[in-house]
Structure 1
Amino acid sequence: MIPVDADAAPPSADPPPAPASSQDPRSTDPREPPRTSRREAALIAASVTAVVAIAISLAFDPERAGASGMLAAVGAPYVVLGAATVMWLRRRGELRAALRPLSGDLARGALVAAVLYGVAMAVQMAIAPRGSPREAWLLRLYLQLGDPSADARVFVGAAVFVVAALEELVWRGLVMRALEGPLGQGAAWLLSSALFAVAHLPTLFLLGDPVAGPNPLLVAAGFGCSIVWGRVVHRTGRLPPALFAHAFFSWAIVSFPIWRP
């Protein structure tokens, strides 16, 4: 017979600890950079920039000024790129976290858009005041968009709202997020903003004026606004507030022009 120690503690009945989850928290936390390789990130960034630059070249061709084909030329590629972004985020397990709506997103987006609209008005008065040669830059931009007093303007504004939301989805949801893997959050933020501006470089010449020269408005606005929208994404960890900010700002610029003839 084997002696039994009466004072010995009974064997533990607790089950062995469960193995730690192998799921990387970065796959669901939108605040963490996605694990993209340098090659994949470069391919995504270069492809999106090239496609958008071509679309911008077609959309802002002076022959399309005021025509419905102008918005279609830039909107159609963004529909495709937006769908690709959704599939990319879903494949990585980040879609729900990145696009999760919360109460107050609409108000935050509208507030950011209002601030940017005020800045745009101040910049317009500073660099392209009425009567100056640089006023032609604004003239060319709004002529491209069409008559601001036309009855169909409400539909143009709605189309711009949708295209702007798709822009934000693609540039912050795909390009910036992909670049965060190899570059880190800060560098990806700046580089994606710069690439958004680069994609608008064709407007330097397409919207230029013989007297005022190349038109820098969309390039400068693209970079400056992207800095703000990217920061909104980093602060909230989600895309919806920035989507609304971008969409409301672009809609306001079209529906409530900062310049009129």
Structure 2
Amino acid sequence: MSATTLVHERNPAPAGGGTLIADGLAMTGRHLHKLRAAPGVLILTQTMPITMLLFFGYVFGSALAVPGEEYRAFLVPGLLAATAANGLMTGMFQAAQDCHRGVMDRFRTLPMSRAAVPLGATAAEVLTTAVGLVPLMLVGYAAGWRIEDGAAGALGAFGLLLLFRFATSWVGYWLGLLIRDEEAAGQLGSATFVLPLLSSAYIPTGGMPGWVRTVAEWNPISALAAATRELFGNAAPAADAAWPSAHPVAGTLAWAAVLLTVFVPLTVRRYARDGRG
């Protein structure tokens, strides 16, 4: 636990009196230390996309056709998008685990800003994701994927991926505060695996049945996957898709803005309300 938190514990004061940035940094440090001490969830979430790349790319790749491009070049940006969306699962599990073990109640006795705890957790998610995307990109490069549109586009894609991870982590953290049970959060988190399947992360939406295609194209993960492909120079967005998928960069920014606008205040309010019993 960080020095800032230790000082708070030794000098208790009414909750809510801390500074958001300082307290948020302390909580970020706490979550990073927690991951280093118990890296199981981190290892699982970071190695799963690589496993899926090898499995989909080499086992199913020969059976899947993407018009005008090689399947592994199509798949890697989709897996990057699915990894960014995984903040929903990890944020939910982290919040539920801390609630279940009584850590949240301890935090509420400290003189911290109410937003610092979820902010620190979601910021830690962004930092770990920034590091974790690199091995996936390296394996993708070895599998034949390339950045085709220069450094500026690649940096833009990387920024969108981290922004989306930040937004979905807030959604997950709110769900974890609602669930408050570590085992239940783990079971529900595994169900989020279906969300990338109902998107363009792994296959194009053009061949899907009508209503499935509509759901997939309005899935935020589809917008992010299409934006990532566009910015990396791997594929142009489908002109006949739904608006978020046809204008994927703008669509991803819009989805991220909506998620943050809705779930940041909901999460902070839920955290504070639980503290009042």
User: Which one has the largest radius of gyration?
Assistant: 1
TM-score by length of 1: 0.33
Structure with more of its chain in helix, by fraction: 2
